[in-house]
Structure 1
Amino acid sequence: MKEKQAIRVTLLLSFLVLVTSGKGIRYKRYGEDNTRVLPYRQVKKTIQMKGGDVYDCIDVNAQPSLNHPRLKNHKIQMQPSSFPFGLDMESQLPHSVSEVQPYIVDCPIGTIPIIRNNRSGNVEHNIDGVSSMDIQTEAAGMRYYDVVYGARAIINVYEPRVNKDSKDLSATWLQINNGGGEHTDRIGAGVEVNPSFSGDTFVRFHISWTDGLYKKSCLDHSCPGFVQVDHKSGLGARLQHVSVYGGRQYAMRLSIFKDPKSKNWWVAYGTKNTPFGYWPSTLFSFLNYKGDFVFWGGFVQGPTVSSNAPQMGSGHFASEGYGKAAYIRNAQILNENNKYVTPDGNVKVDHGTSNSTLYTVDKFEVDTPGMSIYYGGPGSVV
């Protein structure tokens, strides 16, 4: 009994330290006139989406990312020098699952879409140490501990319920870290419902990164750093479809990998492994060469998570299985030979949850296409 209690405590502490997009990060927004065109963006075209989102198509060489002091005179890399080797994930989706991607904005070639958020184009990310009294995090999924040069997975896309008036968020996430304690570099991508950032409760595509040396964290284009090259989709974009409990299922292929020549960390998505953009390696002190940790799964974060926790995944416990619980499939890591491989699930991989009363994991498996797991739960939502 004591041994089992010790294991549970270890899992809890590990997941609380993990904190996917950065423990203690606070998202704060200010009002914006949504009709105003910002001159610094050098807008070439404005596109109004059916759902109400507005995108400005700006010159790829004038994007806000290049204002970062470490990117002075940075020459944009429009394509990875090569793609990793590995099994084609196109054939790995069950027949009952459809591919989903962010809404197509389709800005002109040579530009990228920047969303005009309903709240603001400015965000402050405050990190006040390893823990914070007013920011809590719970996580459920799989963790890998060893040297990595990338990771990928197929993520089941749901739209978990998050209180619109709260500053909480719920995400399905792929993340790579390096460093330790407060000084940890993080890069991540996935889908999340984040009302205080987007102004609504739709699930949207996001990326985030943390500079562990200066303890600064950024979401999308909220601060300079991430270089976007995709002209068809934008950060913060809604997903075309979401899975329905007991009904049609949708999933997204997602990968983060290090370019063996430029050393930049790329994000790619979809059947065609579309390059979305990259984090230049010069942004980091610990991730400039390799990662030492990967997380695949779900997390919730915010000031009311402990008292009014939002849903994670489908909002149902992992034991309900396919079509009812959210899943991660074909999770693999990229090795030093630029090849995707399946980790040894018995040695370097942990799976679990930080709070089994709110969120669970189940059916963890390791096979040739990669690792898989079901995760999620209702939180405090009734």
Structure 2
Amino acid sequence: MISIISTIIDGRAQARILASNKVTGFDKPKGAVKTIESYETGEVIDCVDIFKQPAFDHPLLKNHTMQMKPSSNRKANGAGYVEGAFSQAWWKYGECPEGTIPIKRPQNHTNHHVTPMIPHVKRLNLSGNDFSAPYRHEYAVAFMQGGNLMGGHARFSVWNPTVMDSEISFSQIWLGSGPDENVNTVEAGWMVNRKRRSDSTEAEIFIYWTSDGYKKTGCYNLECDGFVQTNKKIALGGLIRPVSTYGGQPYDLTIDITKNDFTGWWWLRILDIEVGYWPREIFTYLKGPADRVIWGGEIASNKPGGSHTATQMGSGHFPYEGFGKASYFRNLKVVDDRFIERDPENLGKGVTRPECYDLLHNADSPDFGVNFYYGGPGFSTQCANW
């Protein structure tokens, strides 16, 4: 079971940062026509000419014709639902004009220094016993493997878990295809990433992709050429407001990644907003369908052997605590090779160390569909050592 998902879960390649994408006091990125600064969070958002975004620096996209919305008539079979309250902190300070997209500058929002180049993260052994690697990964995920999959969907709760210095806590959906050494993925979710910004304590939206097993291709958000953004509302990397609180109101995020049945591009939808797409040209195996969809949480830790990291996954509480306390994924869907959305079948479970982070499948329900709770606190009396 572990080998099925090792390619995607274990070992995330970290993105390079564009030389032109600098913080306050430095040059604006190419094509910027307006700058918005969130005084509440220190985020700096540049509104960039949609035709001058980083994607079009990719050599395979030089003559690319942008599509503003999916040209598909595919209809989902899933039941409708009401979205929770969702916003990004920078929205209250302005909006990007038509014909532009928002790009968040990488920065430390307390002292506005340029974020250092982020190193490649070595692929680790899923047993969690590879002490020679700079990062070790632990996870609690559900997955569907096999077949020709054209998309995946989930609605999942958003939290601000505690994350130790230079570590990362992810909650996301992955779609992948290809052999381990050259896997292609498209990924989206939320994370608290103290590797990128040491003072980061809040969840932010992110995307990621690779076309060669996390070796040389791919990046977070728009930090390299590849993903084509078409929407002026969502800033990838932007902080999410509000988030769930323990015993309080839960807030969640809905993400769809679906292959367009005409162009073959992988479209990203956040809530009801078509954010943009990964063109098929940048991939090898994902030129065609995916062969796996994965949902759940991941921890990337650089803590040496000895005491286990106290970085939390999800809400930082175990699944058995249930609704309002544990983090959840609900209404899981896949899109089959007829482009029909349906419930996933034969859902697998992958957990590296259940005493640290676990996952609990729940019975299907009219409101929650296929769903599970996941997460945990990391270091505790039962999770004391690596």
Give the TM-score normalised by structure 2. Answer: 0.85
Number of the residue aligned with 1:339: 340
Q: Does 1:321 align with 2:322?
A: yes
Number of the residue aligned with 2:285: 286
Q: Does 1:236 align with 2:224?
A: no
Distance 1:109 1:149, change over 3 A: same
CA distance in 1, matches of 2:138, 2:59: 34
Amino acid at match of 1:372: N
CA distance in 1, matches of 2:206, 2:228: 13
Number of the residue aligned with 2:97: 108
Q: CA deviation at 1:87?
A: 3.9
Deviates more, 1:26-35 or 1:247-256: 26-35
Distance 1:122 1:335, change over 3 A: farther
Query: What is the DSSP-based 3-state SS (H/G/I as helix, E as strand, rest coil) of the residue aligned with 2:81?
Result: helix
Q: CA deviation at 1:371?
A: 1.4
Number of the residue aligned with 1:58: 48
Query: What is the DSSP-based 3-state SS (H/G/I as helix, E as strand, rest coil) of the residue aligned with 2:251?
Result: strand
User: Any stretches of 5+ residues in structure 2 without a counterpart?
Assistant: 109-113, 126-131, 382-386
CA distance in 2, matches of 1:250, 1:380: 26
Structure 1 counterpart of 2:33, from 44, 52, 56 = 44
CA distance in 2, matches of 1:379, 1:305: 14
Number of the residue aligned with 1:6: none
Number of the residue aligned with 2:187: 188
Q: In percent, how many aligned pairs have the same letter? A: 30
Query: What is the DSSP-based 3-state SS (H/G/I as helix, E as strand, rest coil) of the residue aligned with 1:196?
Result: coil
Query: What is the DSSP-based 3-state SS (H/G/I as helix, E as strand, rest coil) of the residue aligned with 1:282?
Result: helix
Contact 1:310 1:378 in 2 (8 A): yes
CA distance in 1, matches of 2:214, 2:41: 37
Number of the residue aligned with 1:296: 295
Number of the residue aligned with 2:140: 140
Number of the residue aligned with 1:215: 215
Q: CA deviation at 1:130?
A: 6.3
Number of the residue aligned with 1:179: 178
Query: What is the DSSP-based 3-state SS (H/G/I as helix, E as strand, rest coil) of the residue aligned with 1:118?
Result: coil
CA distance in 1, matches of 2:355, 2:214: 35
Q: CA deviation at 1:195?
A: 1.6
CA distance in 2, matches of 1:100, 1:87: 24
Aligned length: 358
CA distance in 1, matches of 2:207, 2:176: 14
CA distance in 2, matches of 1:122, 1:68: 23
Number of the residue aligned with 2:111: none
Number of the residue aligned with 1:5: none
Instruction: Give matches, 1:115-130, under 5 Å.
Output: 115-119=104-108, 120=114, 123-124=117-118, 126=120, 128=122
Q: CA deviation at 1:27?
A: 5.8
Number of the residue aligned with 2:376: 377
Structure 1 counterpart of 2:11, from 8, 23, 26 = 23
Deviation digits for residues 193-251 of structure 1, max 9, x if unmatched? 00222441210000000122682331112211111111012110111100000011101
Number of the residue aligned with 1:81: 71
**Structure with greater proportional strand content:** 1
Give the TM-score normalised by structure 1. Answer: 0.86
Distance 1:221 1:198, change over 3 A: farther
Q: CA deviation at 1:171?
A: 1.0
After superposition, the CA RMSD in angstroms is 2.6
